[in-house]
């Protein structure tokens, strides 16, 4: 009911919990010494304990497992004890035939718990600490039972009956191995049916029959006109997609009917797990959705959500998950609707566990709703709308003094500003920012971004939001990488400012982002870690390897260690891994820009090997793109295309765009090199189409497309057009402050003019490009600009050959060390030309020719490193001779 929030941790006692209680009772039976009766070793005993712990914590599903699933798992855990355990559980369960039995059972349980003054405990006695996890579980069960009304106890009894019977019927239908045991159970059950006081069980039988009838293939529609029967068939579609979840070796028909059962009669035998587990489950699912994006199955999860909503209408988190699901499947309207619904119901006070619950004011936290809405608009490519909404979020967070939300909102705005090209924010980023941007709004977007980043970082640090701090450091590094720090004020001492980017600062920022991996535990989400650990533990049970390790019941202590080892990585939250991973990605990009090919490659490789599991699919695609590009530049197209093929297979259903773009890029370059101009133009056009997609304009892609367009024109010798395209591109880069790109464009302009025979016009462009490169520390680009400059000098006449040669020799270390095949080739060619144009160098023409040979080999047979190695050796020898 409105305004009334129910106690969140409410705990209902269910048949599954009763059986866990029975197991706990076995695990810690009060009268035994050191290793209790059925266990033959300490490790066996511990394994059961671990298993029980996992059962109470794991969040891999929303529903409690059925008895047969429990029995299956017990078989994995129990090893030799398997029969004894399952028999004990089933017989204990089926002995509960009247409400009084239940009362006695829970009274017995109470004895398992040590008293609060467990100091008097004897040495070897096993007593469950009431404050341990299992102890707490037991206490909650007992409490929940004591709170039950008599009707509630009756329901519990009925449900236990159904729970047992289902297991038995399914056992007898598909399990041959356990025929003997199930036979026992059936016997014991028939005993109960002969009892006088078997009202309960009779009722259960009736119900079971009714359900069976319901699940039998619905034959009663046969009489109806065809139209009707087709209508009827519609409803049976449900069961289908869910069968993916089926990991047990059940035959499909029985399973389908079981699934239908869930829908037909949710009352019998289907119970939600504890609130804690469900929240954990939803969190895990949210992570997976975000990680996998659109490859996550929409409908199957939607079905689960629908079921969850039916079972727990007051669990509003479901709406949020639905929103996420719709968001990543690009369903704008449903996403919007569900987002609004979620925040209307929850007032932002549910979920988001980083907010201390004590700080909850009576106004609700609707600013989070705005934050989410803003991010949604961003995702759907409405940056302007997103910015408006986020601005509102900033204002509302300030009003409600929700600093955490403010910090996150600022980070989101920074992200938005840095990702989407805004030429101006005037009129959007207005008044609410004035407390942060005290200098007024006459700043450029970049300056505003810088101020915001600083503010966001400071805020996150003061609020001790470690992850946000790390993310902000990364954003800062990105900013520093591509922007020169200029003074914010137009007056005051400026001399101290070096107008260059500073790689050291970038490195520092990246490093401070990395600290997160050792500090994340302060974030306080132990809950998810616990849950994830337990889930992983249980999942490992199902792997064949797991059972193999465990069935060696030789009593050595280390047989449980392999498990711990395998599940260890999951103890670091996925989000932390992702952040740390992306710091490596940033490093790779930074080195790429600074022009150190090996370092870029190493970082990309580190990411691909260490963080592939935790990375989101788009990041993983990006790293593949980087590696393949590296291959293309240094090993030639053959290898690059081979690698691309594997990458395409890997990211088949994921948003292909990145991989697709890479493919187009490679195709375009190869076409240019081979002189297939038509093909190049075609590919280039396709790239242009991608750049002007319906979703937000990706500036990076846009520049890329027109850059390639200009290159194609250049190759087609349409110089004036190429120059025009490049010029307009430069204007755009200038407008949106894309300075790194500007350097490239300037270089291209220089090349265009050089090729059109206008070397004099080209010179200033080359020089401008050089100065850009210097400012932004783009060493490799600088080397190639130097090379172009040398070429320009050379084309001015043979008397400038010396100048050219000097320039070239200056750039040689960089080019040979980090440059790709093409660049090296060009450098050699230019060098050769220099020598040729100077008559005094005729003596070394032999060497030059050899070098040419080397070049031709390289270019024509690119991708055969062994041969090039051979040639270079060859070359070395001859050089020695001469």
Query: Contact positions toward another protein, by CB under 8 A?
Result: 1-3, 6-12, 149, 151-152, 155, 207, 210-211, 213-214, 220-224, 227-228, 231-232, 234-235, 264-267, 272, 275, 310-315, 336, 340-341, 344-345, 347, 362-364, 366, 369-370, 373, 388-389, 392, 395-396, 399
Residue closer to another protein by CB (options 228, 612) is: 228
Residue closer to another protein by CB (options 209, 613) is: 209
β-sheet bridge partners, residue 113: 128
Least distance CB 269 / another protein (angstroms): 13
Written as six digits, the tokens of 456 are 């966001």
- Residue with tokens 């991608």, as numbered in its chain: 690
Q: Check: CB of residue 170 under 8 Å from CB of residue 257.
A: no
Taking the C-alpha atoms of residue 455 and residue 437, their distance in angstroms, rounded to an integer, is 9
Q: Check: CB of residue 537 under 8 Å from CB of residue 570.
A: no
Least distance CB 369 / another protein (angstroms): 7
739-755 and 719-735 helices cross at what angle (nearest 10)?
Answer: 160
Q: Check: CB of residue 308 under 8 Å from CB of residue 318.
A: yes
Least distance CB 223 / another protein (angstroms): 3
Residue closer to another protein by CB (options 222, 504) is: 222
Instruction: Provide the b/e sequence for 202-227 (b: ≥16 CB within 10 Å).
Output: eebeebbeebeeebeeeeeeeeeeee
Least distance CB 617 / another protein (angstroms): 31
Q: What are phi and psi for residue 113, nearest 5 degrees?
A: -75, 135
Least distance CB 89 / another protein (angstroms): 25
Taking the C-alpha atoms of residue 671 and residue 656, their distance in angstroms, rounded to an integer, is 22
Residue closer to another protein by CB (options 228, 564) is: 228
3-state secondary structure of 874: helix
Instruction: Provide the b/e sequence for 331-349 (b: ≥16 CB within 10 Å).
Output: beeebbebbebbbebbbbb
Residue closer to another protein by CB (options 387, 768) is: 387
Residue closer to another protein by CB (options 395, 711) is: 395
Q: Check: CB of residue 336 under 8 Å from CB of residue 376.
A: yes
Sign of CA dihedral 484, 485, 490, 492: negative
Least distance CB 273 / another protein (angstroms): 11
Residue closer to another protein by CB (options 163, 366) is: 366
Residue closer to another protein by CB (options 436, 823) is: 436
Written as six digits, the tokens of 167 are 């297991």
Least distance CB 667 / another protein (angstroms): 44
Written as six digits, the tokens of 125 are 């006695």
Residue closer to another protein by CB (options 150, 565) is: 150
Least distance CB 96 / another protein (angstroms): 19
Least distance CB 321 / another protein (angstroms): 15
Least distance CB 795 / another protein (angstroms): 57
* Cα pseudo-dihedral 259, 261, 266, 270, rounded to 10: -60
Least distance CB 102 / another protein (angstroms): 16
Q: Check: CB of residue 844 under 8 Å from CB of residue 882.
A: yes
User: Which ranges in 28-149 belong to alpha helices (H)?
Assistant: 42-57, 67-78, 82-94, 99-112, 133-147
H or E stretch covering 581: helix 574-594
> How many angstroms separate the first and last alpha carbons of the chain?
94
CA atoms lying within 13 Å on the CB side of residue 183 = 5
Taking the C-alpha atoms of residue 28 and residue 45, their distance in angstroms, rounded to an integer, is 9
Residue closer to another protein by CB (options 95, 230) is: 230
Least distance CB 308 / another protein (angstroms): 9
- Residue with tokens 């920074």, as numbered in its chain: 414
Residue closer to another protein by CB (options 2, 522) is: 2
Least distance CB 200 / another protein (angstroms): 15
Residue closer to another protein by CB (options 44, 425) is: 425
Taking the C-alpha atoms of residue 773 and residue 739, their distance in angstroms, rounded to an integer, is 9
Least distance CB 39 / another protein (angstroms): 35
Residue closer to another protein by CB (options 85, 102) is: 102
Written as six digits, the tokens of 3 are 């305004």
Taking the C-alpha atoms of residue 38 and residue 32, their distance in angstroms, rounded to an integer, is 10
Burial of 758 by CB count in 10 Å (0-12 exposed, 13-18 middle, 19+ buried)? Answer: middle
Residue closer to another protein by CB (options 156, 452) is: 156
């Amino acid at each position: 009911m409105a305004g009334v929030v129910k106690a969140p941790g409410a705990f209902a006692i269910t048949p599954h919990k009763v059986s866990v209680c029975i197991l706990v009772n076995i695990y810690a039976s009060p009268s035994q010494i050191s290793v209790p009766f059925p266990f033959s070793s300490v490790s066996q005993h511990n394994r059961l304990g671990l298993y029980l712990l996992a059962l109470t914590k794991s969040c891999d599903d929303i529903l409690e497992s059925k008895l047969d699933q429990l029995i299956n798992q017990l078989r994995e855990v129990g090893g030799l004890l398997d029969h004894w355990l399952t028999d004990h559980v089933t017989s204990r369960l089926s002995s509960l035939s009247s409400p009084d039995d239940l009362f006695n059972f829970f009274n017995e349980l109470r004895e398992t718990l040590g008293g609060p003054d467990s100091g008097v405990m004897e040495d070897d006695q096993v007593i469950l600490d009431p404050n341990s996890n299992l102890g707490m579980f037991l206490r909650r069960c007992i409490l929940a039972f004591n709170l039950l009304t008599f009707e509630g106890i009756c329901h519990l009894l009925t449900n236990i009956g159904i729970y047992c019977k289902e297991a038995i019927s399914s056992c007898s239908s598909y399990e041959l191995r356990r025929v003997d045991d199930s036979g026992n159970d059936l016997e014991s059950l028939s005993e109960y049916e002969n009892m006088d006081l078997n009202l309960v069980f009779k009722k259960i039988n009736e119900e079971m029959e009714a359900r069976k009838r319901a699940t039998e293939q619905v034959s009663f529609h046969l009489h109806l006109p065809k139209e009707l029967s087709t209508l009827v068939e519609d409803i049976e579609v449900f069961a289908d997609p869910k069968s993916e979840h089926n990991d047990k070796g059940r035959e499909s028909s029985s399973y389908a009917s079981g699934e239908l059962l869930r829908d037909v009669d949710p009352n019998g035998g289907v119970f939600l797990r504890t609130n804690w587990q469900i929240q954990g489950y939803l969190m895990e699912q949210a992570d997976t959705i975000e990680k996998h994006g659109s490859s996550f199955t929409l409908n199957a999860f939607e079905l689960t959500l629908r079921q969850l909503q039916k079972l727990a209408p007051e669990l509003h988190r479901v709406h949020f998950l639905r929103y996420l699901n719709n968001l990543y499947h690009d369903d704008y309207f449903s996403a919007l609707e569900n987002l609004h619904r979620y925040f209307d119901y929850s007032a932002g006070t549910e979920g988001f566990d980083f907010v201390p619950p004590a700080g909850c004011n009576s106004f609700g936290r609707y600013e989070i709703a705005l934050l989410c809405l803003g991010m949604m608009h961003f995702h759907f490519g409405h940056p302007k709308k997103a910015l408006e909404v986020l601005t509102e979020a900033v204002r509302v967070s300030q009003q409600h003094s929700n600093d955490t939300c403010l910090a996150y909102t600022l980070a989101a705005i920074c992200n938005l500003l840095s990702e989407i090209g805004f030429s101006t924010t005037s009129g959007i980023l207005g008044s609410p920012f004035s407390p942060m941007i005290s200098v007024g709004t006459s700043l450029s977007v970049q300056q505003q971004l810088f101020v915001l980043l600083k503010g966001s970082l400071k805020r996150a640090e003061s609020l001790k939001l470690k992850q946000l701090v790390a993310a902000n450091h990364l954003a800062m590094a990105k900013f520093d990488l591509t922007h020169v720090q200029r003074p914010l004020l137009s007056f005051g001492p400026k001399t101290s400012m070096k107008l260059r980017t500073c790689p050291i600062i970038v490195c520092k920022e990246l490093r401070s982002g990395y600290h997160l991996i050792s500090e994340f535990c302060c974030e306080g989400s132990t809950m998810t870690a616990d849950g994830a650990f337990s889930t992983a533990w249980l999942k490992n049970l199902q792997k064949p390897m797991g059972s193999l390790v465990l069935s060696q019941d030789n009593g050595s202590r280390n047989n449980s260690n392999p498990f711990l080892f395998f599940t260890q990585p999951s103890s670091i939250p996925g989000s932390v891994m992702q952040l740390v991973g992306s710091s490596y990605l940033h490093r790779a990009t930074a080195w790429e820009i600074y022009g150190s090919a090996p370092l870029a490659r190493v970082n990309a490789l580190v990411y691909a090997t260490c963080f592939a599991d935790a990375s989101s699919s788009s990041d993983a695609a990006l790293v593949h793109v980087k590696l393949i590009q590296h291959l293309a530049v240094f090993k030639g197209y053959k290898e690059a295309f081979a690698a691309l093929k594997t990458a395409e297979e890997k990211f088949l259903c994921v948003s292909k765009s990145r991989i697709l773009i890479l493919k187009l890029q490679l195709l375009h370059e190869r076409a240019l090199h081979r002189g297939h101009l038509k093909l190049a133009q075609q590919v280039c056009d396709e790239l242009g189409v991608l750049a002007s997609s319906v979703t937000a304009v990706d500036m990076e892609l846009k520049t890329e497309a027109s850059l390639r367009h200009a290159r194609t024109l250049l190759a087609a010798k349409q110089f004036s057009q190429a120059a025009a395209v490049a010029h307009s591109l430069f204007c755009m880069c200038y407008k949106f402050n894309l300075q790194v790109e500007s350097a490239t464009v300037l270089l291209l302009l220089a090349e265009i003019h050089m090729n059109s025979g206008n070397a004099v016009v080209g010179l200033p462009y080359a020089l401008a490009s050089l100065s850009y490169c210097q400012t932004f520390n783009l060493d490799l680009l600088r080397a190639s600009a130097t090379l172009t400059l040398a070429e320009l000098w050379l084309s001015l006449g043979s008397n400038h050959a010396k100048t050219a040669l000097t320039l070239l020799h200056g750039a040689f270390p960089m080019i040979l060390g980090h440059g790709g095949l093409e660049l090296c080739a060009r450098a050699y060619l230019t060098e050769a030309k220099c020598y040729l144009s100077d008559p005094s160098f005729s003596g070394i023409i032999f060497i030059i020719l050899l070098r040419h040979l080397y070049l031709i080999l390289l270019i024509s047979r690119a991708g055969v490193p062994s041969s090039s190695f051979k040639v270079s050796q060859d070359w070395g020898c001859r050089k020695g001779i001469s």
